[in-house]
Structure 1
């Protein structure tokens, strides 16, 4: 909800343009939370994004204007995306442009060039996902484009530190991702049994992994060592919630394995988290993943990999953070919690306390609003 700590320094409402190519997953969820808050503040909010996925429709439902923007690399050339976004910017005349993710950050900064306050939020640096042949080019671009970044919003301290260590220099603020604590409620042992019954799952030791089925989210690493988990916990089941380009390959990998269930993309994620004894987050890179926060909010123990963003968000008493490319460490941590449910439950409640203190969406949206007001006030005061 709108805070009273600052007022918009003008007689008209602040107009914010959010630009994003991702329209589902964590980036879209975070962007939608900002849109909802800003509409509630009485601001004018426009979202420019592709028409696929959830973002545009959720933004429209929240009360924002939506401009469909064809910008995917596989469906639009860079010059075409630039021309289309330039038209949107000129027609909407925003006071602040907020660019979400690498593709929007590339196109948006080429268009705006800091002529109006420009907020860039990587949601994980683009060069982390780039193939080796273009990784260097992606890094060089981020260094260059920093001159057109009025404020860089990092979702974790480690994301900020990585950028600084690689000579990406722009005014920067860290705003950790937040989640809706009313939507993701703590679930006890009875809730776990009830959730499994509703979802048609066996009532056995259960690992849940939520995320797009892509290289980034690391399900292939989790599956590679799942037989080791099953050897020590023979009844254990692994539930993969999500869909994506790697689904067929992952299903082939799991074809000869026992206890692996693919359930596709779901809108009832809190229920699947409630069904878990432990939530696995085997990501290979992140900005700050939402799934560990959602799992902790549901009072579930988390076993995750030691990558940027996760180390900032999962405290040691809420689960385990294991080294990337350490399959034995990952499986050991999962087994330890499957055979000791009291430990897992205690970690889950510690995680809930941590999220309540550090990752409430109301806090993150309020901090972002303060950034906008500061930038717009400084620009108008020139």
Structure 2
């Protein structure tokens, strides 16, 4: 438990279940701390290794931290904006509020009201910023290149996971559900693999209760196609960077996404990417002469299969795209860059007199 007098930034997480927002907090906090940002978490569902404060510490927010006139509360959900507004405006605690928006849809009147009360707003992509009615700063998510990096020996990386070292592997990682487009990936592999005996496919991720029937249907479809030994459902894993390192092609088939880190994780492991045009994917990938991957319209199965085939059947193109993706991830999307830019927002607010 952190001493609240030493905490200048509070990062609340008011959702018990793991989500993309939670994952962002988990990855960012250690980097922010290493950069000297005095941030601590508040709420459930986070690793005990992260610095945190308890709810009783909020009673101390009338008092300023040791070396600042106020604190910053960094909200990422409606349920985190609302209590901060109450603490600042009703209880008159010494707070400034930052909100990070990843949503790419029209906001409800309630959300618009909450966002208008913020002292600063961060958008995770230019597309997200276009949905906001207030000024914002675009800071895209970054990747931890100390966790996500290329395999020194691709065959060994596959063998270490019990995968066939002599096969090339296409992968789709994330929650198994309709919104994530898992069925589109499976259907594209069903159409492509029979003509490509040197390839297999893996689906890595968990189907939560409401989506287990969806996963069961996909497994039955694969079995009916006679590909149960070549399209593998490997479940959820904590060592996901190791699974990326075993891949030769990554496909992000989402029908909708807020930001979407998976293409960036693949790029950082030197894997070429096929991704639908949702979330921030169009701002992550590069097409044309400096190709890092192929962007396709969402929900279009034929386009997905054609794009995947263009990499599967052209090893040199895959190699070039993977190398360029790695360069782009390192040069433009390291998580230290994201944390530094967020820190500049904090510093501006912390340095204000009131």
Structure 1, 112-121 or 205-214: larger mean CA deviation: 112-121
Q: Under a length normalisation based on structure 1, what TM-score does the superposition of the two structures give?
A: 0.78
Q: Distance in 2 between matches of 1:352 and 1:274?
A: 12
Unpaired segments ≥5 residues, structure 1: 1-11, 68-84, 129-135
- Cα 1:154–1:17, aligned 2, differ >3 Å: closer, same or farther? same
Helix, strand or coil: the match of 1:261? strand
**What does the per-residue CA deviation read over 1:232-288, in whole Å, with 9 as the maximum and x for residues that have no partner?**
324532211111322442232232311221111112112111111101111222232
1:256 equivalenced with 2:221 (yes/no): yes
The equivalent position to 2:139 in structure 1, one of 175, 190, 209, is 175
- Cα 1:46–1:254, aligned 2, differ >3 Å: closer, same or farther? same
Within 5 Å, which residues of 2 pair with 1:162-201? 163-164=131-132, 168-169=133-134, 171-187=135-151, 191-201=153-163
1:28 equivalenced with 2:4 (yes/no): no
Q: Distance in 2 between matches of 1:361 and 1:353?
A: 14
**Do the aligned residues in 1 keep the contact of 2:173 with 2:205 (CA within 8 Å)?**
yes
Helix, strand or coil: the match of 1:65? coil
- Cα 1:218–1:277, aligned 2, differ >3 Å: closer, same or farther? same
Unpaired segments ≥5 residues, structure 2: 63-69
Within 5 Å, which residues of 2 pair with 1:1-382? 13=6, 15-20=8-13, 21=15, 24-51=18-45, 56-57=46-47, 60-62=48-50, 64-67=51-54, 89-91=58-60, 95-105=71-81, 108-109=84-85, 112=88, 116-125=95-104, 128=105, 138-161=107-130, 163-164=131-132, 168-169=133-134, 171-187=135-151, 191-202=153-164, 203-245=166-208, 246-257=211-222, 258=227, 259-316=230-287, 317-378=291-352, 380=353, 382=354
**Do the aligned residues in 1 keep the contact of 2:139 with 2:341 (CA within 8 Å)?**
yes
Shift of 1:111: 5.5
Shift of 1:223: 2.1
- Cα 1:33–1:200, aligned 2, differ >3 Å: closer, same or farther? closer
Q: Distance in 2 between matches of 1:223 and 1:354?
A: 28
Shift of 1:112: 4.6
Shift of 1:150: 1.3
Q: Under a length normalisation based on structure 2, what TM-score does the superposition of the two structures give?
A: 0.84
Helix, strand or coil: the match of 1:228? helix
**Do the aligned residues in 2 keep the contact of 1:124 with 1:285 (CA within 8 Å)?**
no
Q: Distance in 1 between matches of 2:157 and 2:347?
A: 43
**What does the per-residue CA deviation read over 1:99-136, in whole Å, with 9 as the maximum and x for residues that have no partner?**
123543455556555962111113335xx4xxxxxxx7
RMSD over aligned CA atoms reads 2.5
**What does the per-residue CA deviation read over 1:171-217, in whole Å, with 9 as the maximum and x for residues that have no partner?**
311111111112211236xx221111111112323111111223332
Shift of 1:27: 2.1
Helix, strand or coil: the match of 2:203? strand
Q: Distance in 1 between matches of 2:37 and 2:330?
A: 27
Q: Distance in 2 between matches of 1:247 and 1:238?
A: 20
**What does the per-residue CA deviation read over 1:152-174, in whole Å, with 9 as the maximum and x for residues that have no partner?**
1111111112x14xxx22x3111
- Cα 1:210–1:105, aligned 2, differ >3 Å: closer, same or farther? farther
Helix, strand or coil: the match of 1:216? coil
Q: Distance in 1 between matches of 2:78 and 2:195?
A: 42
Residue aligning to 1:3:
none
Q: Distance in 2 between matches of 1:328 and 1:144?
A: 42
Instruction: Report the count of equivalent residues.
Output: 327
Q: Distance in 2 between matches of 1:113 and 1:304?
A: 43
**Do the aligned residues in 1 keep the contact of 2:178 with 2:214 (CA within 8 Å)?**
no
Q: Which structure is higher in helix share?
A: 1
